[in-house]
Amino acid sequence: MRYRIRGKETAVTTVAERQVGQLSDEDVARLDAWWRADNYLTIGQIYLQANPLLRRPLEPGDIKPRLLGHWGTSPGLSFIYAHVSRLIRLTGQQAIYLAGPGHGGPALVAAGYLEGTYSEIYPAVSLDEPGMLRLFRQFSSPGGIPSHVSVTTPGSIHEGGELGYVLVHAFGSVMDNPDLISVAVVGDGEAETGPLEGSWKGISFLNPVHDGAVLPILHLNGAKIAGPTVLGRKDPAEVRSLLEGHGYEVLEVSGDDLPGMHHRFAATLADAWGRIREIQRSAREGEWDGARPRWPMIILRSPKGWTGPAEVDGVKVTGTWRSHQVPLSGVKENPEHLAILERWMRSYRPEELFDEQGAPVALVRELTPEGDLRMSASPHANGGLITRDLDLPDFRGYAVDVAAPGTQRAESTRRLGELLRDVYRDNPDRFRLFCPDETNSNRLGAVFEVSDRAFAERVSAEDVAISRDGRVMEVLSEHNCHGWLEGYNLTGRHGMFATYEAFAMVSASQTVQHGKWLQEAKRLAWRAKVPSLNVLLTSTAWRNDHNGFSHQGPGLIQVVLTQRGDVARVYLPPDANCLLSVADHCLRSRSYINLIVIDKQPQLQYLDMDAAVEHCARGAGVWSWAGTDDGSTDPDIVLACAGDIVTMETVAAAQILRERLPKFRVRVVNVVDLMTLPRRKDHPHGMSETLFTELFTDTVDVVFAFHGYPGAIHQLVHGRPDADRFRVRGFVEEGTTTTPFDMTVRNGVSRYHLVMDAINNAKRLPPGAAELKAWCERKLAEHQVYVVEHLEDMPEVRDWSL
Ligand SMILES: Cc1ncc(C[n+]2csc(CCOP(=O)(O)OP(=O)(O)O)c2C)c(N)n1
């Protein structure tokens, strides 16, 4: 095997590499036995509810009533697994396995079972005949396990249900994880997805010194559910150039002949592993010239449904899309299909693989690595076990001095950037910021004082704060950012994904899928809690000065608040000190999705640090300094707000009412933690009935100014006393490139709209209310004329403060 080291071609073959690459007859026998055992268990899971070891001929009653699962991808997944296990056994390499086509779940469940991990975690699924039967019966069945490589599968950090994310998870898992190799099997159907196509670029951000390595294995079995795949039908030379163009050293294995495939795959895997080790060794020993290494990857061309029934009812199955799910249907009713199934299962010779008790025989077990090196038992895949808390500075040290509420402006996210800079500095091995090219734009650029952007491609003289040693992750792909952070979190490390609010919807599906993962993980005692997925949305709908409508979309809030209360949190800090308090809380939390929404522009500051900490701890509170309500009786109206810009409008509206209708009693309530609004039985953060009444009363009308879509608040206060009295204003899809205040006007959430709403909804109106309404209407008309003429907001609005 040949490597490029310091520009020279060198032949290096280590002893270990030779061992991995060459198979003796015994090696082939072990690999073949393990693979047969895994395939047998895979088929058993899909089909059988009795007679697991075929001790007697199959009968219709042995067959499950509903045949669910996916066979086609499974033999390829287990073939690779067997070879990687052998490599681990020989070399002690730490590795985890990510199955892109996660629908091959039974193959990975079978692997964990053969490795003994499954029974260690789920003792009822023991390594004997009754345990095997449980393994079969639980698969895809009510009360059992799902058909994918899901949270219940030991060794998994990747479900592979929603296709496209295997490489992003794999790359995230190896960042700051120098000893780990993540083997990532990419389905050729999966390779057609946008996220996957964009994720080959992971190597352009990998550092061979402080990061581990990803070994992508593109599994070209040629078919998807119902047809051919693009890469499967492309000229192989084109596929090769595509991947070489991404910077990979492409190694190929192709065929279905046995044992030839074992020999060729073992040699190729050894080659790939040797190349990875050599890249790492040379970089870690100071011999690296700094150029982006050509990391190896493997293309495996093997038939879909390999070793399954070649034909069924005269139609070709193996090697075609027909083997994707359950290649034999109607087995209970169709004696011919039952006979094919029996022949198929017996072709693996189960009597050679499992002993009298039903446990795997020595030949099968001999492939299994020791203890934690088993991929199904790797602590990397149960990252909460090895996670270390962040060393966090005192967030109070970054506070904005607030002498009086609403009198001075500051860029809140800039303070957060300073906090994150010090988190980077103090946690060089376990914290990263992920951002689609907007760290500076989001005012988080202080992090560059201690870390560059990571970049493994060529750097030129004009580039700033970017180097191969950097650890700030900037790639113009929300999918990569989100997925890398998930992989980083699930292997025990901490981070934050900061993105423009509107484009968080690009990766919203990942947010949803990760929420499902966290939710399921919480049901499993053996899955230790992992650092939370922190998402910071800045550059929000309300202040997208030069961007306009495409950049105005608060949809992710809507997405996250429909997730289950055990995992979802939404915070809308109104100013810098609240942001710092919320961020500190989120960085300490475990196994949540924390959504934080705050704008990056200079904005009014309201609370000093002590008040902010108290306010954020409660999640919502009365801002008595903003209203005219002394708390002795119910106010005439409650002006509530959640979100920075609408909070300013609310405080301004309260001021107008205070000055122009001094007898009108207004209470201002600010909500930071959106999830305090639901009833406690609907969300664990839900505030008590008493507190809700203290803030919102039981009967007074509430004019609620919300950062996002108004329906969200109605959804959240559902079931609260007289929920109909909430009159919510928020973003109603009125957007364009315009002035900041005009955005609030267009969406009907300006201070003038709020004042009119207050007047329209209060049960008791003092004299002068009608005149004030008319004044507001005049102000709005004045605004319309002014902005068109002057191209900016009226000074009384633009420079407004308390
Ligand atoms: C994003 C997404 N779209 C569609 C599907 C439905 N789906 C499940 S499996 C599959 C085909 C996958 O083909 P491939 O990745 O080649 O896997 P394999 O052939 O190895 O089964 C599709 C389209 C999905 N799971 N995820």
Q: Is 221 in the pocket of ligand 1 (CB under 6 A)?
A: yes
User: Mutual orientation of helices 25-47 and 129-138 as an angle, nearest 10°?
Assistant: 60
Return the pLDDT at 539: 87
Q: Whose CA is nearest to atom 19 of ligand 1?
A: 224
Helix residue ranges, H only, 524-605: 555-561, 576-588
Longest pairwise C-alpha distance within the chain: 98
Return the pLDDT at 13: 63
Q: Is 78 in the pocket of ligand 1 (CB under 6 A)?
A: no
Atom of ligand 1 nearest to the CA of 70: 21
Q: Is 682 in the pocket of ligand 1 (CB under 6 A)?
A: no
Beta strands in 140-212 (DSSP E): 180-187
Q: CA 392 to CA 400: how far, in whole Å? A: 18
Q: CA 108 to CA 76: how far, in whole Å? A: 11
Mutation to probe ligand 1, out of 217, 224, 302 (largest number of atoms < 8 A from CB) = 224
Show Cβ contacts of residue 376 under 8 Å, excluding neighbours closer than 6 positions. 108, 111, 112, 115, 117, 118, 153, 154, 155
Mutation to probe ligand 1, out of 163, 239, 479 (largest number of atoms < 8 A from CB) = 163
CA separation, residue 642 to residues 193, 619, 673, 706, 713 (Å)? 37, 11, 8, 5, 10
Atom of ligand 1 nearest to the CA of 188: 16
Q: Is 278 in the pocket of ligand 1 (CB under 6 A)?
A: no
The CA angle 316-135-75, to the nearest 5 degrees, is: 30
The CA angle 43-47-48, to the nearest 5 degrees, is: 105
Atom of ligand 1 nearest to the CA of 225: 11
Return the pLDDT at 739: 94
Residue with the two structure tokens 């895949």: 381
Instruction: Compute, in angstroms, the gap from residue 135 CA to the centroid of ligand 1.
Output: 24
Pairing verdict, β 2-5 and 8-11:
antiparallel
CA separation, residue 340 to residues 52, 315, 323, 343, 438 (Å)? 16, 13, 14, 5, 58
Q: CA 481 to CA 499: how far, in whole Å? A: 9
| Polymer length of the chain | 802
Q: Is 305 in the pocket of ligand 1 (CB under 6 A)?
A: no
Instruction: Compute, in angstroms, the gap from residue 189 CA to the centroid of ligand 1.
Output: 6
- 349: number of Cβ within 10 Å: 12
Helix (H) or strand (E) holding 409: strand 409-411
Return the pLDDT at 14: 77
The answer to whether 114 and 41 are in contact (CB under 8 A) is yes
Q: CA 796 to CA 750: how far, in whole Å? A: 13
- Which of 138, 143, 111, 128 minimizes the C-alpha distance to 37? 111
Q: CA 279 to CA 274: how far, in whole Å? A: 9
Instruction: Compute, in angstroms, the gap from residue 101 CA to the centroid of ligand 1.
Output: 6
Q: What is the DSSP letter of 607?
A: -
Q: Whose CA is nearest to atom 20 of ligand 1?
A: 73
pTM given for the model: 0.96
End-to-end CA distance of the chain: 73
Q: CA 291 to CA 285: how far, in whole Å? A: 15
The answer to whether 732 and 755 are in contact (CB under 8 A) is no
Please state whether 52 falls in left (phi above 0), alpha (psi between -120 and 50) or beta: alpha
Mutation to probe ligand 1, out of 190, 318, 322, 326 (largest number of atoms < 8 A from CB) = 190
User: Which residues are paired to 94 by β-bridges?
Assistant: 180
Task: Work out the burial of residue 259: count CB atoms within 10 Å of its CB; fewer than 13 is exposed, 13-18 middle, 19 or more buried.
Answer: middle
Q: Is 162 in the pocket of ligand 1 (CB under 6 A)?
A: yes
Return the pLDDT at 21: 94
Q: Is 164 in the pocket of ligand 1 (CB under 6 A)?
A: yes
Q: Is 189 in the pocket of ligand 1 (CB under 6 A)?
A: yes
Q: CA 258 to CA 323: how far, in whole Å? A: 20
- CA 175 to mean position of chain CA atoms: 15
Q: What is the 3-state secondary structure (H, E, C) of 672-692?
A: CEHHHCCCCCCCCCCCCHHHH
Atom of ligand 1 nearest to the CA of 193: 1
Q: CA 106 to CA 698: how far, in whole Å? A: 54
Instruction: Compute, in angstroms, the gap from residue 527 CA to the centroid of ligand 1.
Output: 27
Show Cβ contacts of residue 375 under 8 Å, excluding neighbours closer than 6 positions. 81, 84, 85, 88, 95, 96, 97, 111, 115, 155, 183, 369, 381
Amino acid at 352: E
Atom of ligand 1 nearest to the CA of 104: 21
Instruction: Compute, in angstroms, the gap from residue 91 CA to the centroid of ligand 1.
Output: 33
Q: CA 199 to CA 206: how far, in whole Å? A: 12
Return the pLDDT at 15: 81
- CA 379 to mean position of chain CA atoms: 19
- 539: number of Cβ within 10 Å: 23
Q: Is 308 in the pocket of ligand 1 (CB under 6 A)?
A: no
Q: What is the mean pLDDT of each run of 10 residues along the chain (802 residues)?
A: 40 74 97 98 98 98 96 97 97 97 97 98 98 98 95 97 98 98 98 98 98 98 95 98 98 98 98 97 95 98 97 94 92 96 98 98 97 98 96 98 96 97 98 93 94 97 96 97 98 97 97 98 97 95 87 96 94 98 98 97 97 98 94 92 98 97 96 97 94 96 98 97 97 95 97 98 91 98 97 96 96
Q: Is 412 in the pocket of ligand 1 (CB under 6 A)?
A: no
Helix (H) or strand (E) holding 218: strand 213-219
Helix residue ranges, H only, 594-750: 609-618, 644-660, 689-696, 711-716, 740-746
Q: Is 225 in the pocket of ligand 1 (CB under 6 A)?
A: yes
Q: CA 318 to CA 303: how far, in whole Å? A: 7
- The two three-digit tokens of residue 458, written as one number: 């060529």
Q: Is the link from the previous residue into 259 a cis peptide, with omega within 30 of 0? A: yes
Q: Whose CA is nearest to atom 21 of ligand 1?
A: 73
Return the pLDDT at 6: 35
Q: Is 73 in the pocket of ligand 1 (CB under 6 A)?
A: yes
